[in-house]
Amino acid sequence: MYLLYLDDSGSVGNTKEEYFVLGGFCIPETSIYWLSKRMETLASRIDREDPSRVEFHASEIFSGREYPWDQYRVKEDRVNFIKQPLLVLKDAYPNIVAFACAVHKASFPQHDPVKMAFEDLCSRFDMYLNRIFHDDTDNEHKGMIIFDKSAYENILQRMAIDFRKQGTRWGELKDIIEVPLFVDSKASRLIQMADHIAYSVFRRYNAGDLSYFNCIENRFDSDQGIIHGLAHKQLNNPDCTCPACISRRLSEH
């Protein structure tokens, strides 16, 4: 079983933000304990007496308004804390791969960016499962999606049901079982990791800030030099030089 942990970054209704992002990572069930333990170790360095009080939420770390991040008044220190979970992913096992979809909202004024991103990632996750099954025919790989609790829960569950019946615009979903599960990020270190991935992609596209994205740029699902795990949905810059757009243009030739 492979689990895709996802979280969102950016606000659909905030006109000051150009992008909405869904992002996270896929992990085999055999690696969950290892990654959770690494995240818990990071938390214990911040609060040795009660690491459970520490939640890695990238935007809250950046703002430094809540415990324990309000103890760190120097911005560079908080930036370093945001990078720590991303560096764990950077050094993780190769079968833990990142996925994200960044939607430029103004390019698709008639579409819901949440729905666009979710459909895209469902398709990419299913194709990933199908590809690794063909690479490992002794094992059939099935997947499940796990989200942070959000206002999008009902929408995404209905979409998942429709995808199971009708498929996405790219075809049938063969290997994703069940509708997405929604959990409290405070109780899941892996959702907290997904939060940091989504935030790093959001900062890369919305603010041109590469400081976080560069930590995980090479962790997005790829095959034979083509990046499949990162999508940049936009119509405003046909010459975009981000990794996703360059990879897409190379795959078309």
* pLDDT tens string 65-89: 999 999 999 999 999 999 999 999 9
Beta strands, E only, 54-141: 97-104
d(CA 48, CA 51): 6
DSSP 3-state of 244: helix
Residue closest to 101 by CA, chosen among 161, 159, 23, 5: 23
Report pTM.
0.94
Kindly report, residue by residue over 103-145, the tens digit of the pLDDT.
999 999 999 999 999 999 999 999 999 998 766 655 667 999 9
DSSP 3-state of 7: strand
* Fold of the domain built from segment(s) 2-251: Nucleotidyltransferase; domain 5 (3.30.420)
DSSP 3-state of 235: coil
